[in-house]
Amino acid sequence: MKTYEKLFIDGRWETPAGNDSISVTDPFSETACGRVPAGTDADVERAVVSARRAFGVWSSAAPAERAAVIGRIADALAARQDEIGQTISRELGMPIKWSTRIQAALPATVMATFAEMAAQGPPEQTFDNVRVVKEPVGVCAFITPWNYPLHQIVGKVAPALAAGCTMVVKPSSEAPLNAYLLAEIMAESGLPPGVFNLVTGTGRVVGEALCRHPEVDLISFTGSTAAGRRIGELAARSVKRVTLELGGKSANVILDDADFQKAVTHGIKDIFLNSGQTCSALSRMLVPAHRQSEAVAIAQASAAKVKMGDPSDPANYMGPLISAKQRDKVRGFIQEGSAEGATLVCGGDAPPPGLQRGYFVAPTIFADVAPTMTIAREEIFGPVLCIIPYQDEDDAVRIANDTIYGLAGAVWSGDPERALRVARRLRTGQVMINGGGFHPRAPFGGYKQSGHGREFGTHGLEEFLETKALLME
């Protein structure tokens, strides 16, 4: 068991103001795998004061200097990739093969892209007697989730560093151990003291203290829509800038001229990755009504090949869910889907065979799902796929857009121009066309109640820059 007793504040490992701690549970063994401090308002105060003091130093550093430090952080993340992958696999439950490839490798890649952008310096514009310049926002507070823990931290930290901001990070209480590995890297990177601060703790204490603090200029939050509303309310009292990356109920629109074998199989891999605990997961598969039986057969056969079990076994594709609470929530949705009349194709609310221990939910597929059903409207955040039949292209677009969310989506068609045309009609921040995948420079964020603001690439960098007009004589 990995135990951390201190917080990282002002470039040093500091003793917390309180004595309470948070236990981290291994979702496979259901036993403790770590412990971190439960930070207090006093710890937040120290961290924010430290970040404010460091802002003058880091914001005035030359672009080349900032780029060099960020580059060293990226290199260190890459060098510790195996350790990071093992840590996240243990605290999250994602199988080691995918934890290393995704949870550990992506943060290093993202950090490296922002090292390149930092070297270029912020853009300027001139016209007539006007010069428009960009300046760092100031002190930022980052409240991050457990499903892609380090990736989401780095998605905020990297552009903030590149912009010249300073920060306080509050990682998820369910998966905070990886954040300590990042703090160790920061301590050795040459970053000025106070630029990066880590305060672990609960959202109710540490998160809310950060949102209320008058010296915090920007809040960036990734998590549930309900928590995002609360953060927005608190931040509004001092008119802080807020970026929110919230829930999703993404539609995978498979048009009648698509390669069904390829499209449906890809959709199965997407929804069951990370046990369905992905905000942009393609949880609604929209198929032509007259071809639903074909799609169901392919989906069922593909789901049967999904291996699940011990996260330390690289042969497994799925592990447990993060907690007993999340497992029970997902099982409740499955029960509701059956009660509302959807056809259970595979899976269900019973523990998977041979996996009585651990917070497991079997890969579950429902067919004949009506757009009005609870499982078609609520974010389940588990390995549950809804197959929804539609009548024609316009009906598919209507169903896809009939949601409070707008984070991501997908379109499949044998005609790339048709796929692009339909993709433009989807009210979402990102659309994958014929299997297009994640790109570290592509903006990520949502429409509607999926939040506002963008992460990654130049659009992610812009979130941490203020615009100033200089008017010359």
Nearest CA to 58 out of 141, 213, 163 is that of 163
CB 72 within 8 A of CB 189: yes
238 shares its domain with 262: no
| Tokens representing residue 323 in the block | 């907690």
Confidence of residue 114 (pLDDT cuts 50, 70, 90): very high
Residue 126 burial class via C-beta count within 10 angstroms: exposed 0-12, middle 13-18, buried 19 and up: exposed
- Specify the DSSP element, H or E, that contains 116: helix 105-120
CB 448 within 8 A of CB 430: no
Q: For the chain, first and last CA: distance in Å?
A: 65
Asked whether residue 278 falls in the same domain as residue 302, the answer is yes
Active site residue 386: no
Residue of 279, 346, 379, 455 marked active site: 279
The answer to whether the CB of 388 falls within 8 A of the CB of 229 is no
Over residues 407-437, the pLDDT tens digits come to: 999 999 999 999 999 999 999 999 999 999 9
**451 pLDDT above the threshold of 90:** yes
Distance CA 115, CA 188 (A): 17
Section 120-130 average pLDDT: 93
Domain boundaries, position 343? 251-440
Average pLDDT, the chain: 97
> Do 306 and 226 fall into the same domain?
no
Residue 303's Cβ-side half-sphere holds a number of Cα atoms within 13 Å equal to: 26
336 and 454 share one domain = no
Judge if 180 and 318 occupy the same domain.
Answer: no
**Same-domain check for residues 454 and 431:** no
Question: Is residue 215 located within the same domain as residue 333?
Answer: no
Q: Are residues 70 and 123 in the same domain?
A: yes
- Based on the domain organization, do 82 and 204 belong to the same domain? yes
277 and 351 inside one domain: yes
Please tell me whether residues 257 and 232 are part of one structural domain.
no
pTM above 0.95, yes or no: yes
Angle of the 149-163 helix axis to the 177-187 helix axis, nearest 10: 30
Let me know whether 95 and 185 are in one domain.
yes
Residue 308 is part of a domain; what is its CATH number? 3.40.309.10
**Site of tokens 């997961």:** 281
| % of the chain residues with pLDDT over 70 | 100
What is the per-residue pLDDT across 356-366, written as a single tens digit (0 to 9) for each?
Answer: 999 999 999 99
Q: Percent of the chain at pLDDT above 90?
A: 99
Q: Shortest CA distance to 366 belongs to which of 352, 336, 383, 346?
A: 346
DSSP alpha helix (H) spans, 191-343: 208-212, 225-236, 260-272, 292-304, 324-339
E strand or H helix at 185: helix 177-187
C-alpha 157: how far from its chain's center?
13
Q: What is the pLDDT of residues 195-249, one digit of tens each?
A: 999 999 999 999 999 999 999 999 999 999 999 999 999 999 999 999 999 999 9
User: Are 319 and 275 spatial neighbours (Cβ–Cβ below 8 Å)?
Assistant: yes
**The domain spanning residue 120 has which CATH number?**
3.40.605.10
Region at 245 (left for phi over 0; alpha for psi -120 to 50; beta for the rest): beta
Given a contact cutoff of 8 angstroms between Cβ atoms, the answer to whether 24 and 175 are in contact is yes
Whole-angstrom Cα distance, residue 106 to residue 389? 35
DSSP letter, residue 450: G
Q: Into how many domains does the chain fold?
A: 2
Mean pLDDT of 169-185: 98
- How many angstroms separate the CA atoms of 195 and 127, rounded? 34
Is residue 245 part of the annotated active site? The answer reads yes
Mean pLDDT calculated for residue range 274-281: 98
pLDDT score recorded for residue 401 = 98
**Per annotation, catalytic residue among 14, 91, 174, 245:** 245
Is pLDDT of 123 > 90?
A: no
